[in-house]
Amino acid sequence: MDISNYIYLSAILFTIGAIGVVVRRNAIVVFMCIELMLNAANLAFVTFSRIHGNLAGQVTSFFTMVVAACEVVVGLAIIVAIYRSRRSASVDDASLLKR
Amino acid sequence: MLSAPNLDYELLAPIMIILGGALIGVLIEAFAKPAWRARLQLVISLAAIVISFNQLVRVRNDGSSIAAVTSVSVDGAGMFLQGAILIFAFLGILVIADQDNFAPQASALPGSAEEAAAIQAGKQQTEVFPLTMFAVAGMMLFPVATDYITLFVALEVLSLPLYLMAGLSRRRRLLSQEAALKYFLLGAYSSAFFLFGAALLYGYSGTISLNGLTDAIRGNTGNDVFLLLGIIFLSVGLLFKVGAVPFHSWKPDVYQGAPTPITGFMAAATKAAAFGATLRIFYLGLDAAQTSWKPFIAVISVITMIVGSLAAISQRDMKRMLAYSSIAHAGFVLTAIVSLSENALSASLFYLFAYGVATIGAFAIITIVRDSAGEVSDVNRWIGLGKKSPLVASVFSLFLLSFAGIPLTSGFVGKFSIFSAAYESGNIMLVVVGVLSSAIAVFFYLRVILMLFFTDATNDSISVVIPSILTRISISISAIFTIILGIAPSLLFDIAQDFAYFLR
């Protein structure tokens, strides 16, 4: 199979994630879309690594996974704190700052 | 067999000392008695910053582009910004040490009995100190990183603690949590763009280092589609961090919702770090492809300056107004990226420092103007403050004049040098827009100053609390820097010129 298909797949996943962040309203789902974008970048890194025949891209994707895990910890902590004080995880309900 | 990488510990030490201080801070949280924590944390943080700065000064002349193989290049501009970030951290932590600004227990529900009990027991969330230190370490690494892994890790290390700290305000906690959520979601969104841009540039050049990228552009070896898309995605991530229009929407909300000492620290230090990395990427990595990104950045710079200045006029909240002013300032520094010359680089280094100290001072003053319910950031309630507390109002006016770029303050020198560098490089249009939007900005800064001094107070509920000695030190140092750099700019300007170089 042509290896460039993986690049197309990665671009599609990234686009789905980027659109999802904009159109979805639940903070958890928005967050999942962001994770999808990070993983799309990972897929691109690994594919380019294969194309160029060096390991730098694969190493980068490991770092990305670790960083994404840290991001989950911080992100869920914030979302849970918001949910507990408002009983809602919708990003539309969080609008006190708009006046 | 693998050989161990060759690390230059002397040059990496400033970052490592800060990380060490942060780790000791974590241990203090685990083992020290609650009553001692705040004091211990403060001493350790300040000590780490001073030792780190001392180490930085010691190695200032032996920069190296291979401080950590090809990942870190500790060069002039990098060291200057590291020093600036350390000074911001020092001033910032002095204000952060006033724990009255932070929630006693961030996990307690706002308004719950648990929270009341925590206040009653005098609990403190002293984790802000190690969090700040981790953020500082990330900020120091960001401007010296030269490959995509290090850039991305540094970006996240500086951002993640800030997301948390934005949600720790003691008063108006719902607002603060909301700011944290917005900052987090939009920040993570932009890092994803940054990472995807890095992946595309890796696809273009086949290496993850900025030097390799330059070589690939010079040799014209890759697929230009990847290069162009990569530049755009990477720039989106960076422009978000510096708060350029149209990626600025988080800034007013986060500045308003976050605890004010954190806002001040974040506004100064994040901007220096993010511009450090942006300058390096555009001056060093993408220099050879300048015809493809210059128009794009020039347009962003113009709309950032205009939107920032115009939107600031209609703001009624002091913190929001300073947020829009910060957006406008980001636009001014972006002109230096378009100018792409050594003069522009030294001007932007000077500008970032001058703007940073004035910002920390201005936000520190907002923390001490209060009524019975906490700090007052509504501009209209500051009316007549100059008659009640002439000193505080004058120092605040000094910072505003510096933001406006009035002569004899540091802001004037910064703006003048950045615009003259843009003029020399032939970007007349940017200079015209910059001067016009500065003129708009002067209007709203002067309006606030007039309100402070020349309007009679309408109500008496607002007052200036006696600031703690630490906050007072921080405000004084910021004010002194602002005046000295305005009167004798060459003191810092010569240093900035000596340090205005990147090493490949």
ipTM at complex level: 0.95
The length of chain A in residues reads: 99
Q: What is the pLDDT at residue B460? A: 61
Evaluate if residue B315 carries a pLDDT over 60: yes
For residue A85, the distance in angstroms to the closest alpha carbon of chain B comes to: 6
Of B152, B164, B207, the CB nearest to A63: B152
Q: What is the pLDDT tens value at each position of chain A, 99 positions in all? A: 788 899 999 999 999 999 999 998 899 999 999 999 999 999 999 999 999 999 999 999 999 999 999 999 999 999 998 888 887 777 777 676 665
Nearest CA in chain B to A34: B189
Give B5's contacts in chain A (Cβ within 8 Å).
none
Give the least confident one: B63-72, B307-316, B452-461: B452-461
Stronger pLDDT, B251 or B379, i.e. the higher one: B251
Stronger pLDDT, B183 or B67, i.e. the higher one: B183
Amino acid (1-letter code) at residue B139: M
Nearest CA in chain A to B204: A48
Cα dihedral B38, B42, B43, B49, rounded to 10, equals: 160
Of B152, B164, B177, the CB nearest to A82: B177
Report the alpha-carbon angle B332-B336-B338, nearest 5.
110
Most A-contacting residue of B162, B186, B195, B233 (CB-CB within 10 A), to test interface: B195
Give B107's contacts in chain A (Cβ within 8 Å).
81
Q: How confident is the model at residue B381 (pLDDT cuts 50, 70, 90)?
A: confident
Percent share of chain B, pLDDT over 70:
99
Check if B193 contacts A (Cβ < 8 Å): yes
Radius of gyration of chain B (CA): 22
Note the pLDDT tens digit of each residue in B454-492.
877 666 667 777 788 899 999 999 999 999 999 999 999
Nearest CA in chain B to A21: B189
Percent share of chain B, pLDDT over 90:
65
Neighbour tally for B367: CB within 10 Å:
26
Q: What is the pLDDT at residue A97? A: 66
Nearest CA in chain B to A66: B153
CATH architecture, domain A4-86: Orthogonal Bundle (1.10)
Note the pLDDT tens digit of each residue in B81-115.
999 999 999 999 999 998 777 888 888 888 888 88
Nearest-CA neighbor of B183 among B120, B116, B288, B255?
B255
Q: Judge: A60–B149 Cβ closer than 8 Å, yes or no.
A: yes
Most B-contacting residue of A36, A73, A85, A95 (CB-CB within 10 A), to test interface: A85
Q: What is the pLDDT at residue B92? A: 95
Q: What is the pLDDT at residue A64? A: 94
Q: Judge: B184–A74 Cβ closer than 8 Å, yes or no.
A: yes
Q: Judge: A48–B199 Cβ closer than 8 Å, yes or no.
A: yes
Q: What residues have CB less than 8 Å from B447, skipping those under 6 apart?
A: none
Q: How confident is the model at residue B24 (pLDDT cuts 50, 70, 90)?
A: very high
Of A57, A74, A96, the CB nearest to B163: A74
Contact call for residues B224 and B198 (beta carbons, < 8 A): no
3-state secondary structure of B484: helix
